[in-house]
Chain A
Amino acid sequence: ILNVEQSPQSLHVQEGDSTNFTCSFPSSNFYALHWYRWETAKSPEALFVMTLNGDEKKKGRISATLNTKEGYSYLYIKGSQPEDSATYLCVSVGSARQLTFGSGTQLTVLP
C-alpha cells in the first residue's frame, strides 16, 4: 500500500448501532497514525494519535486500534448517536515526518 486508504467511503447507521471503519496505510517507514473527526462547518479535531503496534486508545464511546506490521487501524463507535455524524479522517505519519491523509469515512447516524 502506497497511499492511505479508508473504507467505507460513507455509511449510514441507525442510532444505537455500533460501527467500525478501516484505515490502511504503508507499514514501512511508519512513525505515527492520527485519527481526526471532521464535522460539517467545523475544522478537524484530533481524536487519537497512536504510535506503537497494538496500541488501543479510547475516548468515550469511540476507540481505535493499531497494527503497524500489517498497516491498518480500526476506529470503533459503540452505540452511535446523531452527534457522531461526521467525516473521520485517518492520517499516516511517515519516518520522514510526512503526513498523508486518507479521503475519510463519512458517517451519518440516523435518529
Chain B
Amino acid sequence: SQTIHQWPATLVQPVGSPLSLECTVEGTSNPNLYWYRQAAGRGLQLLFYSVGIGQISSEVPQNLSASRPQDRQFILSSKKLLLSDSGFYLCAWSVLLRTSGTKTNTGELFFGEGSRLTVL
C-alpha cells in the first residue's frame, strides 16, 4: 500500500533562517507531488507541484523553492524565512491524471501528516 511521510512535524525558526521540509512517498512510482500551505485563517494554497524528477512548477512567487531529487522525494526549502512563511505545510501525492483504455483516474490526493512552521 502507498504511504506518504513528511517531516519535521513542527518547526519554530527565526526570521532569516533556512528551511527544509522533506516528503517521501512509498508504494507507488512516478507520482504527482504537491506542496500546499495553509496560512492562519485561510484555505489551502498550492505552492509547488511536480510531475517528475527535476520537474517543478511554482504556483505562487515567493521566497520558497522546491526540489525533486528522486522520484518519490519532494523537498521544500527556503534560504531566508519571512514572518509570512508561518503556516501549516502539507505534502501530497496523486496518481498521474490520465485515461488508459476505459480506466480514468481522477487525481485523488493523499496527504502527509503536515508540518507546522512558526517563524518568529
Residues of A within 8 A of B (CB): 31-32, 34, 36, 42-46, 49, 51, 89, 91, 93, 97, 99, 101-104
B113–A101 CB distance below 8 A:
no
Q: How far is the CB of A3 from chain B (nearest CB, A)?
A: 10
Q: How far is the CB of A89 from chain B (nearest CB, A)?
A: 7
Report the separation of the CA atoms of residues A108 and B23 in the bound assembly, to the nearest whole angstrom. Answer: 31
Cβ of B8 under 8 Å from chain A: no
Residues of B within 8 A of A97 (CB): 97, 107
The 6 listed contacts between A and B (C-beta, < 8 Å) are A36-B109, A43-B111, A44-B44, A45-B111, A99-B46, A101-B36
Report the separation of the CA atoms of residues A89 and B44 in the bound assembly, to the nearest whole angstrom. Answer: 9
Cβ of B103 under 8 Å from chain A: no
Residues of B within 8 A of A (CB): 36, 42-46, 90, 97, 104, 106-114
Across the two chains, which residue of chain B brings its CB closest to A36? B109
Residues of A within 8 A of B36 (CB): 101
Q: Which of B42, B97, B104, B111 contacts A103 (CB 8 A)?
A: B42
A101–B46 CB distance below 8 A:
yes
Given A43-B111, A44-B111, 19 more A-B residue pairs with CB atoms under 8 Å apart are A32-B106, A34-B106, A42-B113, A43-B90, A43-B113, A45-B111, A46-B108, A46-B110, A49-B108, A89-B43, A93-B106, A97-B97, A99-B107, A99-B109, A101-B36, A101-B43, A101-B45, A103-B42, A103-B43
Residues of A within 8 A of B43 (CB): 89, 101-104
A31–B106 CB distance below 8 A:
yes
